[in-house]
Structures are given as structure tokens and as C-alpha cells.
Chains A and B, each alone.
Chain A
Amino acid sequence: MNHASQSALGPAALGLDVGTSRIVIARRSEDDFRFESQLNAFVAIPYSKITEGVLEREKIPHTVQSGQIIVHGNESEKFAGLLNAETRRPMTGGVLDAKEPESLTMIREILTTMFAGHRAEKRQKVCFTVPAAPLNAGGSLTYHEATLRQILTDLNYEPVSINEGLAIVYSELESSNYTGIGISCGGGLCNVCLAYLSVPIISFSIPKAGDYIDTSAASITGERANRIRLTKEDSFHFNGFFADKVHQVLGVYYDDMIRSLVTALKDAFTGTSNLPKFNRPIPMVLSGGTALPPGFRDRFEKLLWEQEFPVTVSDIRLAQNPLHSTAKGALVCALSDS
């Protein structure tokens, strides 16, 4: 993107991907995009003055409440490891967790930490992601969206929301005039959006994603879900045979997740009567942390080709940067709104 076009874009804007496991902010910097991410998690540790002093000195984000120190964001994982405890999360299944008492406080703290040092210009626009409604299931997203909107307004931003799958389309499918299928495979949900010339036509989510794999594998192997997640992110891939039990179990549940996603895609697209007539095959993009293991795209492609998919797909590709593409798409949306 060139400088001339930047000047035409109006005031700076932000893209914000609020995911179950990570929160990512995207900013525009000269010709490039910059990203900042924090784990959307926290851990409570017993209060002591010494511990608090160390955290202050090391500038580790934390809050003190009810005789506990709560460490949030990226550092929470390290502390959970030290204490042999599970991290807690403000969100589950793609939305704010109603059962987690610290949910609102923590998400506000994490966002405040991330926005710190970048105080909003007056009514700076921030486009934040929200999941789509689950396929064939009820469930209201209103509370989740309204709460995030309120937190961002309190922080002096002008919030607008975007569907997660659509954000993938805006991030990755410029070359097809924002026509195609964006799929975000995150922690809590897989979000899907079919867009035609930037307009979302079909969007839905399924509740099988990274967390489903972690918890299912944990229940089989007896490992902690946290540990399973680390193994999954560090060394799992689809291209080989694994003698090791954790990898084998991960493979089984990954396969189950992909099959569910492919089936949902087929059902949703087959069951709709208002598909536009595409004058050429359309691309499909996979994104999100759960799509990262080597071989994921190939496995997905293989299973999709086994189905009679009602839309002709030109190619299935992995996003250029699967961990950041949702935030980038939200930013592109915010900039185009400015």
C-alpha cells in the first residue's frame, strides 16, 4: 500500500480480534501492518508483598483483589506453569463466559493493558470481531457484542463490529474482489463466512475448534488441557506417523474437528437457496491458530474434495499470517469505514 493512499484514509483506526484464546490488535504503520497480541487468559496467585513488588518491577500486568494477585495476558501461562495450575479464561466458545466471575474485569484489564500508551484520539474507530451464530443452534450473541462495545466506548473509542469470517475475507481475498469463503479456526469456534463482492451472504460458526481438541485429548490422556495445547502448538503435524500417544490422540480429534467443519460447510451451503451465481470458482481461506499445524490445509482439502460441495472452489489456501489475519481484516474494515 502506498503513501498516497494512506493519506486518503482519514484518521488512524484499529482492528481488534477478540478471540477465545488470544486478543490481537492491528495497527497501520506507514506501508505496513503491525500486530500486538496477548493471551486472553489469567491466573490467580496468593497475595504477598514481595510477589507484588517483583511483578511491579518486572512490569508484569496484574491486578490485586480479594487477597489475590491476578496475572493476566501472556504472562499468565508462565505463572500457571510454575504453579501447576490451569489458566482461567474470560471467554468460552467464542463469547464472554457467563460462569466466570472475573470475566468482565479481566477482559477490560487485558484490553486496557493493550491500549495503554496508545490513548485513543478523540472517537478513534476500532473495529472488533464477533463470532457468527452457531449453525442449527440458538444462542444469543447480543450480550457479548454489547459488552465489548461498552468497554471500548468507555476506553474512548468508537467501536464497530465485524463478523470473524468476514474479517478473514477482508484480510486475504482482495485479489478476488473480496469474494470467497473465509474460515477462522480459533480456540472456541470455527467461524465461516461466504462473501460476494465484500457483502456477507452466509455466516455461521461451529463449536468444535481448538479447545474441543485440547479438552477431548486431555480427557483421554490424563494430561492437563494446557499441556496438550502446548504440545499441539509445538510439535503436532499431519504429515507423519506418531508413535506417541498424545500426538495420536490429537490427530484423532483434529480429524473429527475438520470433518465436522466440512460437514457443516456442505450442509449450510446446500441448504441455502440464495447463493449468488458466481461467474468463476471462488477461493477459500483457512486462518486461526487451530489451522497452524503443518498439513492442516491438505487434510482439510482432502476431506472437502470427498464431499459434493455445492460451490466450485478454485483453491484452498492458508492465510498469510493465520494468527493475525482476523485482526488485519478488522483493521481494513475500520479503515474503509473511516
Chain B
Amino acid sequence: MARSPILEPPLWVERRAARIADPVERLRFLRREMRRQPRQTHRWRAAGLIAGLVAMVAIVPLPTGTAETFAREKRLVAPAVETTPVDGAARVWLVDKSDSTELYSNGLRVDFTFAVSNRARGRFPIFSLTGGAEPREEGSKPVGIVYHTTESNLAPFAEQENRRLQRLGRGLMEWVRQDRSYHYVIDRFGRVYRVVKESDAANHVGNSIWADSRGVYVNLNDSFLGVSFEGQTGAVDEVTPAQVTAAKELTEMLRSRYGIATEDCVTHAQVSVNPQNMKIGEHTDWAGKFPFAGVGLPDNYSIPVASMYVFGFDYDSVFLRATGTRWRGLDLAELRVARQAGAEGLETPRYRAILQHRYKDIASALKEKSAEVNQ
């Protein structure tokens, strides 16, 4: 393993480098300046630390872009929020319970064969729709549902394939349990399995964003429940009627239990983002054809995509191909960004860049917090 001596450059080197836009010029500058830095003794390191502290107090805080972002954000007009009111979900109650199943009043039967614990659901931050990197409040109980597909191997849905269908389903459930991937999985025969306990977080959604009238949720593992259909995007038998019926019953139960609004019942493709390229739809399960009506929900593809209008995410042609029919929510989100940029007297790309800065600040803070918790 190769190791180089410790280098502790003066603060101005880093600051000046950050102002150089051209990557090659920036690298050239840093390499030149870092070559000049001598290896420091402990005495000098201590002196440097004190000087650094003095400088930190005397000079404006360091992070580049952040100060400008906040300055602008303070002046931003709050985006107009077109919210769906929290509608009254049908009351569903637990009728009977055994060690292996639960029966609910709407006919839902939940199987615990593959039930497992994971880390307890943490308190999650809810950010303001109008700006700032500090959360406005914290939540503790699930606020929504994200629908997934397992993207696993499928056999044709036919009687002569019974054994294979069951074998694949069992294998899938073992894998999902091991990976703590979802709270619920609906197999191809419409059986509903609870995997991760509702009081725990499942590893279902990763980098993701959604918003409702209460605020903005970032990285939804703690704030949203994960429900997955055994299925594969684009497969001939993508979803069976039994799965749709079971999903409707499960959705009714969860909405009743947690008071979840219809606008917070969304698909993985609607919430998934890629922070690396600032595009939506890193995962594209249920990017199209989710049976909202069959599950007893309005067409939520019409809801403006939160990651676009809150944090300036974009989409590409690959994502559009995955959606099949273009969502109305994409157009509404774009319209909202353009309208908001106009109100601020900014070009849309500039306004979007400001929104993106805010996301990066929030994502970075969340990572830091998560690292602290893990330590």
C-alpha cells in the first residue's frame, strides 16, 4: 500500500481552487500548490489549526454554492402546491389473528411465513416545500406506500406451470426475507406476505423523493411502506388479476391503519432519483401501467413529480421510453418549475440549479447523520 506524507495546505488553496471552473485548470492549480506544501511538524500543525479557527470565525463559512443558494431561497416565493385533500379511507379492522396469519374485515389475509425484523423505523425529517436544508418537523409513522415489482424470474401464468410458479415464488420470498427488501409482497396467486415488520424500515426505496401538503420527504425507507408485486416489467403476465385484488385490499388496510392519503400511494418510478446525474427514475419499476384504478386509487401518474419541482431533477429519453405513455405529472412539474422561475425573474436552468443545490445540501446532511447513527 502506498502512502504519502500528510499535507495541510492553507485554507486559501482550497477556496481559490473552488473558484476555478475549468476542471483541468483547477487540477493544474491544485497540483502546483500542493507540491509547494511542506510536510508540517506538529507545532506547525497546531499553529495552523489555531490560524484556521481564527480564519473560520473571521471569514464567511466555507461551503461553495450553499450561501448563494440560501440567499436566493430566502427570496423565493413558495411554490403553489396543488394538493389532494386527505380523503377518508374505508375503515378496515383486524378480525382474527393467529401465529401465521391475520384476517381483516375487507377479506385481506396476511401470511407471516416469511416475516422478519429489520432496523426499527427511525424518526424521519420532513422538509419545507419552500426552501432551506433544515427539516421543518419530524415524522414517526408511515405517511405513504411505494409500489414495486420484484423484477424476478417469472413462469407463464398457466395451470401446467403450477409447480414452477410455486418454486419461483418460494425462492423469491426467501431472497426478499434475507434482503429485507419490502414490507409486503403479493405473489402471483394474490397471496399477501408480510416480510419486514411495519414498525421497522425496509430497504425498498434508496434515493427517493416525494412531497405532499405536509412537506417534502427525502429517502423514503423510513417514511413510506414498501409493497411489491411478484412480477417483471414488460413481461407478458406482468400482473395477475388476483394480485390487483389483493393490492386493493392491502392498500385499504394500510390507508385505514395509518390515515394515508391517496396522493401518497405512488410507484417506485415516481419517487426514485439518481443524485449522481440529477435525473429521475433510477429505478423504473411501475414507470407505466400501474393499475391505480384496480387498486382503488386515482391516476397518481397525474400528480406533479415532486423531485422535479422541489429539487430541480430532470428526466431523459430512456425514462420516457420506460413510462410508455407520458405522465401528466411530468408536464405539470415542468410547468410549475417554469412558472416559479418566471416569478423569480430567473432563467429556468438557473432556477433549477438553485433547487438542485438545495437537494445536494439536504442529501449530504442526511448522509452525515446516517453515518453518525451507524457509528
Besides A177-B18, A203-B1, A298-B206, 6 more A-B contacts (Cβ < 8 Å) are A8-B25, A178-B30, A201-B3, A240-B150, A243-B167, A276-B6
CB distance A133 to B367 under 8 Å? no
Report B265-305 CB contacts with A as 1/0, cut-off 8 Å: 00000000001110000010000000000000000000000
The residue of chain B having its C-beta at the shortest distance from the C-beta of A137 within the complex is B1
B171 contact set on A, CB distance < 8 A:
241, 243
CB distance B4 to A204 under 8 Å? no
A8 to B21, CA, bound (A): 13
Which stretch, B7-15, B104-112, B128-136, B242-250, touches the partner chain A? B7-15
Q: Looking at the assembled complex, report how far the CB atom of A212 sits from the nearest CB atom of chain B, in whole angstroms.
A: 20
CB distance B1 to A268 under 8 Å? yes
Q: Looking at the assembled complex, report how far the CB atom of A132 sits from the nearest CB atom of chain B, in whole angstroms.
A: 6
Q: Which residues of B contact A (CB under 8 A)?
A: 1-9, 13-14, 17-18, 21-28, 30-31, 34, 62-63, 150-153, 167-168, 171-172, 174-176, 203, 206, 275-277, 283, 363-364, 367-368, 370-371, 374-375
A80 to B135, CA, bound (A): 58
A66 part of interface (Cβ distance < 8 Å): no
Write 27 A-B pairs (CB below 8 A) sorted by A numbering: A9-B24, A178-B26, A197-B13, A197-B17, A197-B30, A199-B4, A202-B3, A202-B4, A203-B1, A204-B1, A239-B283, A240-B153, A241-B176, A243-B168, A243-B171, A272-B1, A274-B4, A276-B6, A276-B7, A305-B371, A312-B368, A314-B367, A315-B363, A320-B277, A332-B24, A333-B27, A336-B27
Report A1-38 CB contacts with B as 1/0, cut-off 8 Å: 11001001100000000000000000000000000000
A135 to B3, CA, bound (A): 12
A8 to B363, CA, bound (A): 36
Q: Looking at the assembled complex, report how far the CB atom of A25 sits from the nearest CB atom of chain B, in whole angstroms.
A: 18
CB distance A239 to B151 under 8 Å? yes
CB distance B14 to A332 under 8 Å? no
Choose one: A197, A202, A281, A335; the contact of B371 (CB below 8 Å). Answer: A281
Within 8 A of B (CB), among A307-338: 308, 312-315, 317-318, 320, 332-333, 335-337
CB distance B153 to A198 under 8 Å? no
A74 to B259, CA, bound (A): 58
A113 to B2, CA, bound (A): 34
Choose one: B7, B24, B63, B364; the contact of A315 (CB below 8 Å). Answer: B364
A65 part of interface (Cβ distance < 8 Å): no
